[in-house]
Structure formats: C-alpha cells, structure tokens
C-alpha cells in the first residue's frame, strides 16, 4: 500500500528539547546540535520518529503536516506531588498569623489541618471537584499533562474514597492522573492520642477497601515527629506491599527520621521534601532508584532555611524531581513553572535540572514509563512554547509562554463548560 501515509502527523520547523537521559553533556535538554531545526512524527497517539529535519527519511509522509513556527517543544509537564483535592482553603489562617495570632490561637479558632479535614468531610463530591478544578486549570494552562493527587484530608474510609474518586474524575480530561492514598497523613480527632489505633484502621480497613475499589496507584506516609514514626511508617509500607502497591514518603522535611532510607528499602518510587536528608539516606535512595522530589513551594511558604542536600543528590546521581505540593496549609501553589524558578533560585538547581525535574524524573517518581521524554514509543504528550531557549522556563517569573499542549498527539482545549464549572463554585465558596 505505497500511498497510505506512514504517519498520522508530521511536525516540522520545531526546536526539540527531548529531555532524554542519554543526551550528550553539551545538550542538557536533549536538544539538537547547532540550533538545528527538528521534526516530530506521530502515529496512533505515540511518537513514531523524532530528530533533525535534515535526517527525515527521504520518502517521509504523513496524513497531516504542521509547521511549529520554530517554537521549542518539550515533553508535557508532570506535577508529581499534589494534594489538589481538598475542602476550603487556609487564607484566613494565613491572614491571622500575619496579624500576629499564635498557632494556639489559630487552632482554637478552628484553623490548621483539622479545619481542612472538617471542610473536606463536609464537602460533596461535586464541590470538591469544582474547587480542585479551579486549582487544576492554571496547571493545565502551563502545559501539565500528568498529575499525582493524594488523599489524606478525609482520614476515614468514606471521605478518603470521596477524595480519590474526585481525583480520578480528572482523568476524563486529556490528562494522566495518578492517585495516592495518604491515609497516614495525620491522626483524625476521633483517634486523638491513639496513632496505632488509627493505623489499624488504615491498614486493616481503609487500604484494602480502596485498593479493591481500584482507587489507588500508590501509598504515601507523612513520616515526621508531628506525623508518623518510622516504625509506624513501616507498618503501612508492609501493608502496601501486600497489596502490590508502590510506596512514597513525606520525609526529612522538618527533622531527620531516616524516613527516606526506610522508604528506599521498600523500593519507594520517591521520597519527598528531604531538607534534612543525610548522606546515608541519599546513598540508600541511589541504591534503590528512589527519586528525590523537591518541593520549593513549601520551603518558601514556611520560610525554611535548611536546604535539601543538592550536592550529595547530584554526587550520588539520585534523580531530582520538582512538584508544586499544592496543599492548603503549606504550599497553596498552582504554578509548576514558578516551582522551576524557585528550584533554581532557592535550591540552586540548574534550569536543565529543573526542567528534567518536571518531566523525565517526575515521570519516574510516578512510575510512568510512557511519559516524561520525547522519544519513539512514548505517548505524544508535548508542549509548544513561545520561548527562545528552554532556560527561559526557569528564568521568568509570572510568565506563561505555553503556546499549545498536545496529549496523545491531540491538541488540548479547555471547554467553556469546564471553565464555568470552576468559576461558579468559586463564588459559592467565598460566602
Ligand atoms: Zn505533600
């Protein structure tokens, strides 16, 4: 059949940042040498061919051809750590703290994580969906094509299931969604003083039910002096393993509990935060291929001063991902591009490391094998940018140079009804 085209789509006149990990050292973004013009061919929603336009096969042909206008193309961005689905927000608490109220006074006024817990439990699924959508839309507009969403503000079976169902509803959009069960986020008020009693519920009742319902892709624990101990964390990890689910951990954010090393021993996909991580922890992560997820938004919002051990992570070749950590208490961030800038300014990552952190390494932190780089066989999730060089994505603050987003090869548009759904609830919520 010599006249049927070999490809569905052929993009010409693009500049490629493939983010492939086998890229040469002088091409940190996986770009072509000497600013050469690139081409990208798609078939069945996947990348079929990618490279210099001059290297295209002589008889290359496609059903449709597009001109990229010389724009840069990167893989779709991946936000690999969020608590996007939650009730209410904590803006009033933020305000009270800046007006001089103490934590105790704020807690007495009903603030803190318990206020989010209360509002999440009280909210209907539609309310949670609309409020999370409001936070998701800016991420989509910046080129996010995959996102991880955690539970952890319900802390009982019906409410955790509700959060996870809402998160999974977003996979009806052109978007890859990964859900993580974070039942071990905090101790709910009905179990105050009885962490182990609550963990029994998490392990014996919630985890099996949620896994059975197909609501979770991974299991996470908040391992911290104000969260769960390493021994308690390990109980949850063993249960996750018994259900065949990969684990993740919030570790070494406020103190060193050696949580990252513990998680690495359970072959965790990622250990996240890591400001207090030591070299033994870094080495354990390197040995087990655990990704370091850095969360500069929370570092900034909490005005932390202790930096994650970037030099050690580099030295031991631990992949570093970056995410928004979108959550109402410590990181009300809805811009992944801003996180690129903060990873560079606050943590001193290079712009190429930062971009790899929201593409290749973020994919790995979610166990997504078909995303994160531009190479043959991967899903055709990519972004066209109005930039002169990929470093601009980390350099600019408050800009959004995203031109177009493609998911599985198709242009993603945000329907007006979706924007309306987000806007109408925002009015209801401000009462
Ligand atoms: Zn988090």
Cα–chain center distance at 220: 14
Rounded to the nearest whole angstrom, what is the distance from the C-alpha of residue 79 to the centroid of ligand 1?
12
Rounded to the nearest whole angstrom, what is the distance from the C-alpha of residue 310 to the centroid of ligand 1?
19
Rounded to the nearest whole angstrom, what is the distance from the C-alpha of residue 391 to the centroid of ligand 1?
27
Rounded to the nearest whole angstrom, what is the distance from the C-alpha of residue 91 to the centroid of ligand 1?
18
- Dihedral pair phi/psi, residue 330, rounded to 5°: -130, -5
Q: How many CA atoms lie within 13 A of 245 on its CB side?
A: 26
Q: Please check whether residue 343 is in contact with residue 298, taking contact to mean a CB–CB distance below 8 angstroms.
A: no
Rounded to the nearest whole angstrom, what is the distance from the C-alpha of residue 12 to the centroid of ligand 1?
40
| Whole-number pLDDT of residue 26 | 74
| Whole-number pLDDT of residue 1 | 45
Rounded to the nearest whole angstrom, what is the distance from the C-alpha of residue 197 to the centroid of ligand 1?
23
Which residues are 292's β-sheet partners?
271, 320
Rounded to the nearest whole angstrom, what is the distance from the C-alpha of residue 329 to the centroid of ligand 1?
10
The H or E element containing residue 407 is: strand 402-407
For residue 28, what are the contacts with CB-CB under 8 A and spacing of at least 6? 350, 352
Alpha-carbon gap, residue 55 to 261, rounded angstroms: 46
Rounded to the nearest whole angstrom, what is the distance from the C-alpha of residue 185 to the centroid of ligand 1?
9
Name the one residue in this structure whose structure tokens are 């954010």.
253
- Collapse the DSSP code of 243 into the 3-class scheme (helix H, G, I; strand E, B; otherwise coil) and give the result: coil
Rounded to the nearest whole angstrom, what is the distance from the C-alpha of residue 189 to the centroid of ligand 1?
20
Output Rg (C-alpha) for the chain, integer angstroms. 22
Q: Please check whether residue 332 is in contact with residue 296, taking contact to mean a CB–CB distance below 8 angstroms.
A: no
Rounded to the nearest whole angstrom, what is the distance from the C-alpha of residue 44 to the centroid of ligand 1?
35
Which residues are 47's β-sheet partners?
42
Alpha-carbon gap, residue 376 to 50, rounded angstroms: 7
Cα–chain center distance at 258: 23
**What is Dmax (Cα atoms) for the chain?**
76
Rounded to the nearest whole angstrom, what is the distance from the C-alpha of residue 247 to the centroid of ligand 1?
14
Alpha-carbon gap, residue 114 to 112, rounded angstroms: 5
Rounded to the nearest whole angstrom, what is the distance from the C-alpha of residue 373 to the centroid of ligand 1?
25
Alpha-carbon gap, residue 175 to 136, rounded angstroms: 11
Rounded to the nearest whole angstrom, what is the distance from the C-alpha of residue 401 to the centroid of ligand 1?
27
| Whole-number pLDDT of residue 425 | 57
Alpha-carbon gap, residue 233 to 224, rounded angstroms: 10
Rounded to the nearest whole angstrom, what is the distance from the C-alpha of residue 325 to the centroid of ligand 1?
5
Below-50 pLDDT ranges, the chain = 1, 429-431
Pairing of strands 62-67, 7-16: parallel
Q: How many CB atoms lie within 10 A of CB 300?
A: 17
Name the one residue in this structure whose structure tokens are 């091409």.
27
| Whole-number pLDDT of residue 431 | 39
Tens digits of residue pLDDT in 70-109 = 999 999 999 999 999 999 999 999 999 899 988 778 877 7
| Whole-number pLDDT of residue 162 | 98
Rounded to the nearest whole angstrom, what is the distance from the C-alpha of residue 406 to the centroid of ligand 1?
28
Burial bucket for residue 372 (CB in 10 Å: 0-12, 13-18, 19+): buried
Alpha-carbon gap, residue 133 to 139, rounded angstroms: 10
Tens digits of residue pLDDT in 231-285 = 999 999 999 999 999 999 999 999 999 999 999 999 999 999 999 999 999 999 9
Token code pair at residue 2: 């010599």
Alpha-carbon gap, residue 45 to 408, rounded angstroms: 4
Q: Please check whether residue 78 is in contact with residue 144, taking contact to mean a CB–CB distance below 8 angstroms.
A: yes
| Whole-number pLDDT of residue 60 | 86
C-alpha closest to that of 312 among 343, 286, 336 = 286
| Whole-number pLDDT of residue 4 | 67
Rounded to the nearest whole angstrom, what is the distance from the C-alpha of residue 83 to the centroid of ligand 1?
6
For residue 103, what are the contacts with CB-CB under 8 A and spacing of at least 6? 97, 112
Token code pair at residue 309: 């051990």
Rounded to the nearest whole angstrom, what is the distance from the C-alpha of residue 327 to the centroid of ligand 1?
7
Rounded to the nearest whole angstrom, what is the distance from the C-alpha of residue 365 to the centroid of ligand 1?
14
Rounded to the nearest whole angstrom, what is the distance from the C-alpha of residue 30 to the centroid of ligand 1?
30
Rounded to the nearest whole angstrom, what is the distance from the C-alpha of residue 389 to the centroid of ligand 1?
31
Rounded to the nearest whole angstrom, what is the distance from the C-alpha of residue 396 to the centroid of ligand 1?
25
């Amino acid at each position: 059949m010599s006249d049927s085209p070999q490809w569905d789509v052929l993009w010409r006149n693009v500049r490629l940042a493939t983010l492939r990990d086998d890229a040469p050292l002088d091409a940190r973004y996986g770009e072509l040498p000497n600013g050469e013009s690139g081409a990208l061919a798609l078939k069945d929603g996947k990348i079929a061919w990618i490279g210099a336009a001059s290297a295209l096969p002589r008889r290359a042909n496609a059903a449709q051809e597009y001109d990229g206008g010389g724009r840069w193309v990167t893989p779709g961005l991946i936000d690999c750590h969020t608590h996007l689905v939650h009730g209410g927000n904590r803006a009033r608490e933020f305000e009270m703290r800046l007006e001089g109220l103490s934590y105790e006074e704020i807690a007495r006024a009903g603030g803190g994580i318990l206020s989010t817990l209360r509002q999440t439990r009280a909210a209907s699924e539609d309310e949670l969906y609309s409020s999370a959508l409001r936070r998701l839309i800016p991420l989509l507009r910046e080129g996010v094509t995959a996102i991880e969403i955690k539970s952890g503000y319900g802390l009982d079976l019906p409410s955790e299931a509700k959060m996870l169902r809402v998160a999974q509803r977003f996979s009806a959009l052109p978007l890859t969604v990964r859900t993580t069960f974070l039942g071990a986020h905090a101790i709910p008020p009905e179990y105050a003083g009885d962490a182990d009693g609550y963990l029994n519920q998490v392990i014996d009742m919630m985890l099996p039910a949620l896994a059975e319902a197909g609501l979770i892709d991974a299991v996470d624990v908040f391992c911290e002096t104000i969260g769960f101990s390493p021994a308690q964390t390990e109980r949850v990890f063993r249960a996750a393993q018994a259900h065949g689910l990969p684990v993740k951990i919030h570790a070494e954010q406020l103190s060193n509990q050696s949580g990252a090393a513990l998680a690495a021993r359970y072959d965790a996909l990622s250990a996240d935060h890591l400001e207090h991580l030591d070299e033994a922890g870094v080495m354990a992560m390197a040995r087990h291929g655990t990704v370091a997820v850095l969360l500069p938004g929370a570092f900034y919002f909490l005005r932390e001063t202790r930096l994650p051990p970037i030099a050690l992570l580099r030295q031991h070749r631990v992949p570093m991902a970056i995410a928004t950590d979108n959550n109402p208490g410590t990181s009300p961030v809805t811009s992944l591009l801003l996180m690129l800038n903060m990873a560079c300014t606050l943590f001193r990552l290079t712009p190429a490391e930062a971009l790899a952190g929201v593409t290749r390494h973020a994919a790995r932190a979610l166990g997504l094998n078909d995303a994160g780089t531009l190479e043959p066989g991967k899903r055709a999730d990519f972004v066209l940018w109005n930039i002169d060089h990929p470093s601009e994505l980390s350099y600019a603050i408050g800009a959004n140079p995203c031109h177009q987003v493609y998911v599985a090869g198709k242009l993603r548009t945000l329907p007006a009804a979706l924007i309306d759904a987000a806007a109408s609830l925002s009015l209801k919520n401000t009462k």
